[in-house]
């Protein structure tokens, strides 16, 4: 299956599952392909045939974008160089969860979360430690007795009851022994700390030299500005109360700039984020809701509210047919 067909299939699946899906980010470089939102769940999706193409820089960018846009970064892929991705299993690459299309279908359409995740050494599941302790005590088994039944040490059983996850094989043994479900699903959309390290958000890159004047203006009027490297926008900005967010583009107004502005508008609609595009000379007021603002105009802005008023005035202007 071509990557284009795969992207089409996954985005169609997300719409079938009731998600509002953005236009495809068809401009390179790109850290994600589409944004999607259903209720309170927002995801940034990277869709790949071979997930080995997902590198550390893209992973770091997606994690930053997820933090600032209050979204979960996810990769949907078919295979690695060595094998097909298994259904029902969550993989991780550079701190980002990876699902096969079947696993994504179960999660988003059937609303059945995965139970298994891959980590160095094999496949693992989350054991509900409280239920395990309860059923062991109800059976009147000591830690030593359960350890003997499983063929592990007493210390290992104690760790299971303290919250350590178990291999798929051990989890199956436990459920057979106690004839009760003991596993908990992997909470992909809430970034389950139980299955991978709670790593800090990677640091922002430095702004490109040509973007520094715009970044300086946004910072001066009260925004916390986060430059990007691989997104269809140059920065994400938050006001000091974290009540509003803004995507910013900056370049000459060319055909490519207009395309970026349309993508920014679509992504902003999904992530409930304002978007602006700063140019030297503006031939129009807006592009699909992305406000087009000249550099001289934005340099005259005095504060956040002043900028918000300008954006509202521009974004509300009808586009020419």
Stretch 235-242: mean pLDDT: 86
More confident residue, 125 or 196: 125
Per-residue pLDDT of 9-58, as tens digits, reads 999 999 999 999 999 998 887 899 999 999 999 999 999 999 999 999 99
Q: How many CB atoms lie within 10 A of CB 5?
A: 10
Q: What average pLDDT does the structure give for the chain?
A: 91
| Residue 317 confidence (pLDDT) above 70 | no
Stretch 277-283: mean pLDDT: 93
Domains (range + CATH), the chain: 3-114 (3.40.1350.10), 123-184 (1.10.260.40), 209-315 (3.40.1350)
Stretch 98-108: mean pLDDT: 97
**pLDDT exceeding 90 applies to what percent of the chain?**
77
Stretch 59-85: mean pLDDT: 95
pLDDT value of residue 318: 44
- Cα(165)–Cα(142) distance, integer angstroms: 20
- Quickly state the pLDDT bin for 156 (edges 50, 70, 90): very high
pLDDT value of residue 242: 73
Per-residue pLDDT of 195-235, as tens digits, reads 555 567 889 999 999 999 999 999 999 899 999 999 999 99
Hey, what long-range contacts does 168-173 have (CB within 8 A, 24 or more apart)?
168/116, 168/122, 168/123, 168/124, 168/125, 171/125, 171/127, 173/149
pLDDT value of residue 189: 86
- Quickly state the pLDDT bin for 193 (edges 50, 70, 90): low
More confident residue, 191 or 279: 279
H/E stretch holding 74: strand 72-79
- Would you state the torsion angle of the CA atoms of residues 14, 198, 222, 272, taken in this order, to the nearest 10 degrees? 10
Q: Are 102 and 87 in contact (CB under 8 A)?
A: yes
Stretch 73-92: mean pLDDT: 95
pTM attached to this predicted model? 0.89
Q: Write the burial class of residue 78 (CB in 10 Å: 0-12 exposed, 13-18 middle, 19+ buried).
A: middle
Find the length of the chain: 321
pLDDT value of residue 316: 62
More confident residue, 120 or 66: 66
| Residue 243 confidence (pLDDT) above 80 | no
Stretch 262-291: mean pLDDT: 94
pLDDT value of residue 320: 40
């Amino acid at each position: 299956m071509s990557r284009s067909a795969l992207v089409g299939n996954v985005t169609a699946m997300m719409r079938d599952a009731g998600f509002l899906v953005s236009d495809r980010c068809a401009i390179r470089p790109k850290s994600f392909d589409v944004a999607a939102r259903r209720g309170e769940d927002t995801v940034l999706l990277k869709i790949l045939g071979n997930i080995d193409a997902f590198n550390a820089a893209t992973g770091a960018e997606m994690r930053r974008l997820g933090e600032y846009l209050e979204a979960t970064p996810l990769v949907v892929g078919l295979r690695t160089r060595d094998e097909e991705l298994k259904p029902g299993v969550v993989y991780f690459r550079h701190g980002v969860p990876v699902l096969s299309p079947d696993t994504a279908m179960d999660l988003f359409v059937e609303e059945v979360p995965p139970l298994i995740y891959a980590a160095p050494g094999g496949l693992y599941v989350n054991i509900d430690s409280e239920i395990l302790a309860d059923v062991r005590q109800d059976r009147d088994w000591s830690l030593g007795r359960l350890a003997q039944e499983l063929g592990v040490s007493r210390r290992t059983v104690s760790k299971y009851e303290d919250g350590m996850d178990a291999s798929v094989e051990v989890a199956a043994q436990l459920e057979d022994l106690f004839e009760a479900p003991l596993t908990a699903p992997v909470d992909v959309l809430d970034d389950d700390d139980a299955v991978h390290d709670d790593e800090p958000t990677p640091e922002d890159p430095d702004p490109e030299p040509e973007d520094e004047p715009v970044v300086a203006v946004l910072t001066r009027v009260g925004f916390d500005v986060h430059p990007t490297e691989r997104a269809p926008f140059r920065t994400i900005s938050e006001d000091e109360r974290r009540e509003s967010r803004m995507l910013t583009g900056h370049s000459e107004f060319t055909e490519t700039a207009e395309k970026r502005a349309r993508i920014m508008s679509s992504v902003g609609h999904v992530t409930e984020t304002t978007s602006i595009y700063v140019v030297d000379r503006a031939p129009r007021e807006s592009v699909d809701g992305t406000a087009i603002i000249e550099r001289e105009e934005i340099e005259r802005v005095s504060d956040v509210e002043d900028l918000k008023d300008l954006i509202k005035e521009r974004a509300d202007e009808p586009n020419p047919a």
